[in-house]
Amino acid sequence: MEVEILEESKNAVRFVLSGTSPPFANALRRIMIAEVPSMAIDDVIIVENTSAMNDEILAHRLGLIPLKTDLKTYVLPEDCTCKSDLGCNRCRVILTLEVEAGDSLREVYSDDLKPEDPATIPIGGIPVVKLTPGQKVKLEAYARLGRGKSHAKWQPVSACAYKFLPRVTINPKKCNTCGECVAICPKKILQIKGGKLEITDILKCTLCRDCIKACPKDAIDVSWDETTVIFNIESTGALPVDQIVKEATNILEGKTNDFAKEISKLR
């Protein structure tokens, strides 16, 4: 297999994976969504809440706030030796929130959560609740590692999808360069240059096949290569996107090794 990075930032990556297969690509996608662990608030002890929002809704909102995650410091609750309902320093992080509105309306954001571990900070700028003058919220939240297969709040990705590499074939004997396909293409990847129909950027093709319907001469065909996929991954901010991909490959390798060991026992 070969990997070609097309675009990369801290929280997003787009790459081409060639020499692969649909089952492998889908297994990698599902692991990134469901099995790469991240930190999220799981228990909330509300000391005081005089806002208009119910305690349950407030706790639910807090649970969906992405938290920056340090996988080297913390372990999953099921792997921790403390076996405590509220966890210990190895398997949970405590965050506190104490906000009171003064004489004017006060909007509470995720930045107002104060973690005991400076490395486990909430992603900022997320609205939580509005407080009118005199209202107050005071609570203690417990964050733990978890996996997306248990609850969506533990998914480290906000988007994780792939598509097959498009193949666009042009028959020069049939094509009369009428331009119908050029005009209808939503991604504008077709152009007429030097009296010939050309493809400008095959990676932008969405496989909509509108060009086939528009061509009066059946001179164009669209298919795809199932051995090459284009991945688009966006992180919630809990983990850097490169770490998500690496963790997913490590998990997949571990599952493969475990499967191979079980198969060998049957021989």
The string of pLDDT tens digits covering residues 138-193 is: 999 999 999 999 999 999 999 999 999 999 999 999 999 999 999 999 999 999 99
Q: Where are the domains of the chain?
A: 2-34+159-232, 38-150
Q: In which band, very low, low, confident or very high, does the pLDDT at 265 lie, cut at 50, 70 and 90?
A: confident
Highest CATH level, class, for 2-34+159-232: alpha beta
Q: Report yes or no: 220 and 168 within 8 Å, Cβ to Cβ.
A: yes
Whole-structure pTM value: 0.88
The strand pair at 136-146 and 38-49 is best described as: antiparallel
13 vs 240, 249, 259, CA distance in Å?
10, 15, 30
Q: Report yes or no: 207 and 233 within 8 Å, Cβ to Cβ.
A: no
Q: Which candidate, 90, 85, 87, 89, places its Cα nearest to that of 75?
A: 90
Q: Which residues contact 94 (CB under 8 A, 6 or more apart)?
A: 115, 116, 140, 141, 142, 143
Please give the Cα distance from 36 to 136 (Å, whole number). 36
List, for residues 225-249, the tens digit of each pLDDT value.
Answer: 999 999 999 999 999 999 999 999 9
Domain 38-150 homologous superfamily, CATH:
DNA-directed RNA polymerase, insert domain (2.170.120.12)
Q: Which residues contact 129 (CB under 8 A, 6 or more apart)?
A: 51, 53, 58, 61, 107, 108, 137
